[in-house]
C-alpha cells in the first residue's frame, strides 16, 4: 500500500500534471517520453528535482550511497587524491543532491592534506543547489569558500569530474520494437490521464541506435541519448584528469537481455519502486538504469580513454572502505554497527554492491587507477 500524499503534495502533483498536459498539447498531442521525463523531473518550480520534495534519505523517496554513510565519500577521497595530486587539478561534481558527497569528500581530502583549490558543483536544480549550499556551510564552514556553484560546464577543466547517480536521472528515450521496426514511445493525454502512443522515430541518431539493437517485436526499453551528449560535453572540457561516474546499470548484453523486455524505467515514491511512470508526476523520481556499454562507446568516440569499469563493491573495497570502517572500533557498538550496516549495503551483492558500477575515463595520460586494478571488467563492456 503506497503512502497517501498530503493535500498540498497532491495539489502540487496536479499542477505538474497540468503543465505536462500543456506541453503535450503544444507539441501537437504527443510528446517523446524523454521530454515528458525531463519536464516531470526538472520543469522549474514544478519538477521532482526542481521543487521542494524531500527526495533523499529515510523521509524521502530513495536512498543514495552518500546518504547511507560518510564512508562512501571518504573512500572516494582516497581514490581521487592521487589524481588531484598528479594533475594539480580541481573537483567538479555533477548533480550533487543534498551536498553530502561533497561535504564528506572535501572533509577527507582536508584530512589527507589533499584539498583542491576549488570544488565546483554543477546542479540543474535551484532547490537542490540551495540545499547543498546550506549543508556544506553547516558541515564545513572552514571550506565553504572553496565550493563554487556553476551554471554551465567551464570551458576547460583539469582534475576529477565526479557524478553519483546522475546518468540514471537523465531523460531517456523509450523505444518499442515491433514487427514494423522500432518506434518511439511517447505520451498522449486520454481524458485527464496520460497514456502511451508509439510513433515512427524521427531522430536519425535514435533510429540508428534502435536499429542496431535489433530487439524482438514487443520489446520496450530505453536509449539514453542525453547520457551520450553529457559525456561528449565532459570530454570537450576535460584537458587532463579523470571522469568517474557511479550508477546502477549493466553492460548492453545484460541491459537488453530478452528477459528484460519491459525495460528498466521506474518511478520511485517513498521507497517503493513502481513500473508506472505516470503515477503522481512531480512527487515521484523517474529513472532508467545505465547502459555502460553505450556510455563507454560515447566516451571513447569523444576521445576519452577507458580507465576502468568495476562493481561498486570492488571499487570501494580496493579504495580502502574496510580500513576506514575499522577506524571505528567494533567494541563501540553504538558507533560501529550503523556504519557496518551501511557498508554492508554498499558492498553486498544482494544490495548495491553488484548492481552499482563505477566507470572511469581518463584524458591527458594520467596514471592508471590502482582502485581498478583488481576486478576490472572493462573487457565486458
Ligand X SMILES: C[S@@+](CC[C@H](N)C(=O)[O-])C[C@H]1O[C@@H](n2cnc3c(N)ncnc32)[C@H](O)[C@@H]1O
Q: What span, in angstroms and rounded, lies between the C-alpha atoms of 280 and 257?
A: 30
Smaller CB separation from ligand X, 176 or 266: 266
Site for ligand X in 156-175 (CB under 6 A): 164-166, 169-170
Smaller CB separation from ligand X, 99 or 362: 99
Q: Give the nearest residue (CB) to ligand X.
A: 95
Beta strands 157-164 and 356-363 are unpaired
- Show the binding pattern over residues 226-245: x = contacts ligand X (CB under 6 A), - = does not: ----x---------------
Residue 136 interacting with ligand X (CB under 6 A): no
- Residue 173: closest CA among 197, 202, 206, 198: 206
Smaller CB separation from ligand X, 128 or 307: 128
Nearest distance from C-beta of residue 232 to ligand X, angstroms: 12
Nearest distance from C-beta of residue 340 to ligand X, angstroms: 21
- Binder to ligand X among 37, 46, 128, 359 (CB under 6 A)? 128
Helices (H), 195-328: 204-213, 225-237, 252-255, 292-301, 312-318, 321-325
- Binder to ligand X among 95, 182, 186, 241 (CB under 6 A)? 95
Contacts of 214 (CB under 8 A, 6+ apart): none
Beta bridge partners of 308: 360
The three three-digit cell numbers of residue 310, written as one number: 568495476
Residue 64 interacting with ligand X (CB under 6 A): yes
Beta strands 147-150 and 119-122 are parallel
Nearest distance from C-beta of residue 201 to ligand X, angstroms: 23
Smaller CB separation from ligand X, 64 or 293: 64
- Binder to ligand X among 89, 97, 159, 186 (CB under 6 A)? 97
Nearest distance from C-beta of residue 43 to ligand X, angstroms: 12
Residue 56 interacting with ligand X (CB under 6 A): yes
**Beta sheet of 285-287, edge-to-edge order:** 272-274, 266-269, 285-287
The CA-based dihedral angle spanning residues 17, 18, 23, 25, taken in that order and rounded to the nearest 10 degrees: 120
Q: What span, in angstroms and rounded, lies between the C-alpha atoms of 105 and 82?
A: 14
- Show the binding pattern over residues 67-86: x = contacts ligand X (CB under 6 A), - = does not: x-------------------
In residues, how long is the chain? 381
Size of the site for ligand X (CB under 6 A): 21
Residue 96 interacting with ligand X (CB under 6 A): yes
Q: Which stretch binds ligand X (CB under 6 A): 22-30, 60-68, 213-221, 270-278?
A: 60-68
Residue 123 interacting with ligand X (CB under 6 A): yes
**Phi, psi of 336, deg, nearest 5:** -75, -45
Q: What span, in angstroms and rounded, lies between the C-alpha atoms of 306 and 274?
A: 34
- Give me the residues that bind ligand X (CB under 6 A), please: 49, 56, 64, 66-67, 94-97, 101, 122-125, 128, 164-166, 169-170, 230
Amino acid at each position: 500500500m503506497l503512502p497517501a500524499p498530503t493535500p498540498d503534495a497532491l495539489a502540487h502533483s496536479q499542477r505538474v500534471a497540468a503543465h505536462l498536459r500543456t506541453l503535450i498539447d503544444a507539441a501537437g498531442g504527443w510528446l517523446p517520453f524523454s521530454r515528458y521525463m525531463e519536464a516531470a523531473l526538472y520543469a522549474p518550480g514544478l519538477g521532482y528535482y526542481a521543487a521542494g520534495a524531500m527526495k533523499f534519505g529515510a523521509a524521502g523517496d530513495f536512498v543514495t550511497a552518500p546518504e547511507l554513510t560518510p564512508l562512501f565519500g571518504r573512500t572516494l577521497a582516497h581514490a581521487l587524491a592521487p589524481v588531484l595530486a598528479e594533475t594539480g587539478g580541481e573537483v567538479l561534481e555533477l548533480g550533487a543532491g543534498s551536498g553530502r558527497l561533497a561535504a564528506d569528500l572535501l572533509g577527507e581530502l582536508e584530512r589527507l592534506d589533499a584539498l583542491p583549490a576549488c570544488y565546483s558543483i554543477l546542479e540543474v536544480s535551484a532547490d537542490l543547489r540551495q540545499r547543498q549550499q546550506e549543508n556544506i556551510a553547516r558541515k564545513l564552514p572552514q571550506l565553504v569558500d572553496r565550493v563554487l556553484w556553476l551554471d554551465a560546464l567551464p570551458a576547460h577543466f583539469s582534475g576529477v569530474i565526479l557524478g553519483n547517480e546522475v546518468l540514471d536521472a537523465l531523460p531517456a528515450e523509450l523505444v518499442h520494437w515491433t514487427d514494423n521496426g522500432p518506434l518511439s514511445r511517447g505520451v498522449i493525454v486520454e481524458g485527464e490521464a496520460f497514456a502511451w502512443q508509439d510513433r515512427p522515430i524521427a531522430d536519425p541518431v535514435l533510429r540508428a541506435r534502435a536499429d542496431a539493437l535489433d530487439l524482438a517485436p514487443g520489446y520496450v526499453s530505453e536509449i539514453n541519448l542525453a547520457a551520450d551528449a553529457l559525456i561528449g560535453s565532459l570530454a570537450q572540457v576535460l584537458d587532463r584528469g579523470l571522469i568517474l561516474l557511479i550508477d546502477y546499470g549493466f553492460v548492453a548484453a545484460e541491459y537488453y537481455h530478452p528477459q528484460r523486455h519491459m525495460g528498466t524505467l521506474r518511478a520511485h515514491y517513498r521507497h517503493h519502486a513502481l513500473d508506472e511512470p505516470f503515477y503522481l508526476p512531480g512527487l515521484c523520481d523517474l529513472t532508467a538504469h545505465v547502459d555502460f556499454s553505450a556510455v563507454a562507446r560515447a566516451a571513447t568516440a569523444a576521445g576519452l580513454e577507458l580507465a576502468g569499469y568495476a562493481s561498486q563493491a570492488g571499487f570501494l573495497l580496493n579504495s580502502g572502505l574496510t580500513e576506514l570502517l575499522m577506524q571505528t572500533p567494533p567494541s563501540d557498538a553504538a558507533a560501529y554497527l550503523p556504519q557496518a550496516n551501511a557498508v554492508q549495503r554498499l558492498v553486498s551483492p544482494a544490495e548495491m554492491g553488484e548492481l552499482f558500477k563505477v566507470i572511469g575515463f581518463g584524458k591527458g595520460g594520467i596514471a592508471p587507477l590502482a582502485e581498478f586494478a583488481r576486478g576490472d571488467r572493462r573487457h565486458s563492456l
